[in-house]
Structure 1
């Protein structure tokens, strides 16, 4: 009997793949801050706003310009110059005073400024004429005075209405807001300084007038002319501080002229 061929042993069945369990996830991180609920938030109160109910009776809410005492004082002086310029025989002529007043006349009756007029108006007219003549005489008789410092209320029109020698540098020391208002109102009116001259504004609010003047080209080694009229000086101390600045900047031979303000504490002094 023939022998049967031997069959190969069946291949071993493949072992099922082993599935590895994923590593456990780390616990979620807890934030180090807390969210406040909307109900616990406090809203900052809104500042009160002006409404029509807050306005004084008989008029709208006052504009900032109407509340500026320095601006009002400058407008009073401009009104006197305008009135003097309209007289048949004026002591001086200020063609720009009416331009400075035009905005306020449109908002107020001219009697508004008249009721708040500068005391001793005749004194203001006379001193204005005196200073004009003094300035013209000094600069016309001196070839060395080319630095002129005007200590004003911010609406002084001398830089535009007086004639200045060639290469003169005019410094207007005055309240910044008033000077800015005057500059805006005079724009387009033809107000210009003399040819080859320059006008620089020095804000009265500057923390160091001496330093600001020096940075704007003032030379203490050259003669200078200082003119005081209208600059707000509320106390004798403010006048003393101003004179200290002048004494530190003005060289020997320089000139100081103008009108000293009236101080109540000067009364009764011997």
Structure 2
């Protein structure tokens, strides 16, 4: 079963309504439809994506940057304000953390490598990271933002690494799980999933994300990134309560999870964390269940050994 928030390009006034997405014969009534204005100033999704690109642009021009994003400049206004203080922004620390974890993970995969990015539509990771050969990168993001980004990136000559493949799956797809499969995603192959920037409007929306990842990611695959802190519905700073909430939320969807400290990330990189409140929680989770594809494969093999009376094969299962 696959459900996820969905964003449509229509009326000038933002409205929210419940959607239903189907996978096979199963149904779940989760998801949020956000209809917003499409001009730059009044499109909150576009503004959020541009703001994130601005942070990457500023980080790139710091004396000792955490990372270099050579393409962020084409995504931001020419008069973007530069803030090169000594502090490292939480968003940039998260970007570096995700970059490193993604590359370490895919470099330890044999054969086909699958990366799924849940983004704001302006993620430049497919272009700027040194992906190993045979990496397939799937980007799930609002289509209108992705199209704006893709046009600008093409204009500056951004290229995907040779022998890799980059595929976009619109967040507006009626069935994202089906759309991923149609583009070649294989739930019997290792994958790594990252979320940064994907619009999450409600707790149900994030549960839809967990449902999607849990259905497609193989056992022991990683899921990492940020989720909005307000989803925890607890007082910010009450780490113990938030951790319990996180454990319950992720475990109920088949994941083991740990909160990642921004301060510890900053310290490990020799950086000083910017003071003040940050609206997200950084996490690293591991899939504890089998993907739907793995379960289907197991059932077919079980049926085979039963039909053939293969006792040795039955014991192996």
Q: TM-score, normalised by structure 2?
A: 0.59
1:225 and 2:200 correspond: no
Q: Which runs of 5+ in 1 are unaligned?
A: 1-61, 115-119
**1:121 and 1:145, CA in 2 relative to 1: closer, same or farther beyond 3 A?**
farther
Structure 1 vs Structure 2 CA RMSD: 2.2
1:164 and 2:134 correspond: no
Q: Which has the higher contact order (CA 8 A, sep 6+)?
A: 2
What is aligned with 2:12?
Answer: none
Measure the CA separation in 2 of the matches of 1:208 and 1:199: 19
1:110 and 2:77 correspond: no
1:184 Cα deviation after fit: 0.9
1:178 and 2:136 correspond: no
Measure the CA separation in 1 of the matches of 2:225 and 2:72: 20
User: What CA deviation, in whole Å up to 9, does each residue of 1:137-181 have, x standing for no partner?
Assistant: 112223256110001110000000001111211000001010000
User: What is the aligned counterpart of 1:247 among 214, 222, 243?
Assistant: 214
**1:68 and 1:253, CA in 2 relative to 1: closer, same or farther beyond 3 A?**
same
1:262 and 2:262 correspond: no
**1:155 and 1:240, CA in 2 relative to 1: closer, same or farther beyond 3 A?**
same
Richer in strand (by share): 2
User: What is the aligned counterpart of 1:83 among 41, 55, 58?
Assistant: 58
**1:110 and 1:165, CA in 2 relative to 1: closer, same or farther beyond 3 A?**
closer
Q: Secondary structure at the match of 1:263?
A: helix
What is aligned with 1:199?
Answer: 166
1:208 and 2:183 correspond: no
What is aligned with 1:69?
Answer: 44
1:64 Cα deviation after fit: 1.5
Measure the CA separation in 1 of the matches of 2:118 and 2:227: 11
**1:145 and 1:229, CA in 2 relative to 1: closer, same or farther beyond 3 A?**
farther
**1:164 and 1:263, CA in 2 relative to 1: closer, same or farther beyond 3 A?**
same
Aligned pair count reads: 198
Look at both structures and tell me which one has the larger radius of gyration over its CA atoms.
Answer: 1
Measure the CA separation in 1 of the matches of 2:231 and 2:192: 28
Question: 8 Å contact 1:236–1:263 — kept in the other structure?
Answer: no
Measure the CA separation in 1 of the matches of 2:111 and 2:212: 21
1:133-144 aligned at under 5 Å gives the runs: 133-144=100-111
Measure the CA separation in 2 of the matches of 1:64 and 1:237: 28
Question: 8 Å contact 1:144–1:223 — kept in the other structure?
Answer: no
**1:63 and 1:263, CA in 2 relative to 1: closer, same or farther beyond 3 A?**
closer
Measure the CA separation in 2 of the matches of 1:208 and 1:261: 24
**1:150 and 1:68, CA in 2 relative to 1: closer, same or farther beyond 3 A?**
same
